Structure 1
Amino acid sequence: MNHTPHFRTVLSCTVVILGLGLVATACGEPDGHPLAGTPYDAAQQVAFNAPRAGSKADPDKPLEVTAKSDGARITDVTVTDDSGHHLAGELSADGVRWRSTAPLSAGAKYTVKVATEDEDGAPGTRTVTFETAPAKKFLTAEFGPKAGTYGVGQPITVTLSTAVKGGEARRVVEQSLKVSSRPAVEGAWHWVDDKTLHYRPKEYWPTGASVRATSNLQGVKVAHKLYGGRSKALKLSIGDRLEAITDAGAHSMTVLRNGEVINTIPVTTGKPGFSTRNGIKVVLGKEYYVRMRGTSIGIAEGSSESYDLPVYYATRVTWSGEYVHAAPWSVGSQGVANVSHGCTGMSTGNAAWFFKTFREGDIVKVVNSFGNMMDTFGNGFGDWNLSWDKWRAGSALVADTEADSTVIETARLRPQV
């Protein structure tokens, strides 16, 4: 008679990874085995029934882990991708099923670690890996402006490669767009339209700040069949706080550096019918020479308001053609009257100084003009004319309702004098 050792064979569980075409079976060791009571890797009991060799899992399908053997249960499931991000999931109360509650990333490699117990509490572990198929449609984010040094009013901009509609998709995008600064400041994104976001702090950037904008969109599911792609990060430096405050009623500009007055300049602004816009504007660029013609803003050639002038030391503050520039033809009116067609004019010497002193992102503010308020978006950077509460309301992460997605047409470049 053959004598068989007196121990019984117990299999801890069968774990099936569903929904992605992966099947793994984790079995225990017999009672009395030297490793009984310690976690083991049942590699010999693992089988993959699909996808076929070389195939990748569909990222649009959830990941499921199921314990099949009677009395067996799952005690823990950890899923991480090759970037170290954890995939959220939920384990049923009876330990029979685990299911992912967050979307998988496209084009990623995942590691799944499953811990199990059999009916006697003997532990088992199994680790499997799989890859998800790359996305066919990508969403990328282009940051602006170009890397460099800017004034304290410079917003960070993002142009998306594809329109994003719907609150949930917008929240996913915002959560993946990161802006950090040293020193740290409070800031928020604001949706300008379906493809454009602006980021600004609650107050102006601190002088000397270092700012970095990055996108963590790569592989992230944004909407059905739409995943994030790779985007280039942005680094900015912030210079001194330069502010030019023009009082159109007093025909005078006061220039401050870090809160201290460094210059006072007599100016002329827009005359009746062409009044300069009120509010905060941000320097967009500088052009040593611009030919300015009345026809570009709808003034009929040969009319009493017609002009065609060479203009020097032109510092742009709107895309529609509002500048701070040299106006030697109106020196007699500067400091006395408003005679321009919307621009802020000053002597050639003062304009050259302004041109040399100011950079992109510096603040140009107009008060006491009869003109309209500066547009918030679409004609430059009027971002600072919104209160902080209204600015934050344009964030999909803050607003109770979906941000306004009205597309704002950018004004064409039409110089004014």
Structure 2
Amino acid sequence: MRAPRRPRLSGERRRLSPFVVTGAGGEVRPRDQRDLMERPFFSLAKTKRLTPIHYESGGVQVHVQGFPEHGMATIWDADILIWAASRIVDAENAGLQTSRFLRFTPYQLLTAIGRQTGARDYRLLKGALARLQSTVIRTTIRHGEHWRRHQFSWIGEWEEMTTAGGRVEGMEFVLPEWFYRGVLDRSLVLTIDPAYFRLKGGIERWLYRVARKHAGRQPQGWCFDIPHLHAKSGSLAKPTDFACDIRRIAARQSLPGYRLRIERVDHVEMLRILPASYPQFPVDNCVNGIGTSGVGNVDGIGTSGVRLSGLRACQGQLSLWSDERNPSRNLSNLKDSNMVEARRAVDNPRPDADMVPHSRNRRGPEGGGE
């Protein structure tokens, strides 16, 4: 019996050779595009967003518009673009011919980005593709000599191939030229930690991409003031709510490969991002085990001007006098109550501070995201 014929291609697919994705999804290291990591191209909320994003800095403009039917593409939808960039770079490294026209199975994509493969996940995938296609971006990034603005959608067109019973057997879509050129330029692509796909919050995911882009493996890390981060994110959250979210993330230390520290400089709240110098914990668990935002911990990470007593507010007894109900670790932190000593404690972490309270230990090896 003759196999069913594939329908005639339309649009850009008629003139592009398909890049057929082969192999399992998890065997390729995920890679992200620098421009997408640095600027606000996606909604950080899971609810439908119709309010446009307009960001301008250093002469570069980004304008993102979603349409009422589907809303703006979210940072979770961007996982599809990360997957596409990863497959293209991997194929180019192997000397294979690539194209903006990708042909693949949904199973390959979903497993590579840490999703399930049930019927609901296939429906969510089609919703993500619809949002990527309906989102319109106008930007001056990487404009040509005589061109000032580029307009495109994240996906030009997409199609699914199904059986008579409705089972999805294959998919294909076309990426915009702007994105494809940025992927082929190796200087514009960074490897990211696979644990990124397990991050739950939109701001948390966005902050990891900012950390990977700006801090990288630099020992001194990178420092942002919180108001600048708020503007850079394109978030619709109030500045105060956004600052609380940043403090919570800093308290959890949930970004793979990085540690965060809240600082204050001339009454301005700052976030310092440093490569992690200690073993990484799974992103699904809180490193510090506390849910309060803006409260300092034993290592001096995530402090936001809150007194040390806030850490033990829920314990049975809080006292400055030693007894069996107050662990020695709580008392040993009294010497770090001033800002200078607290910063020194963070810059020179002591893995066994209870046993040798005044010793200076060597720094651990710096971590990286490559």
Shorter-normalised TM-score: what interval? under 0.3
User: Normalization by structure 1: what TM-score?
Assistant: 0.20
User: Normalization by structure 2: what TM-score?
Assistant: 0.22
Determine which structure has the larger strand proportion and give its number.
1
Determine which structure has the larger helix proportion and give its number.
2
Structure number, greater radius of gyration: 1
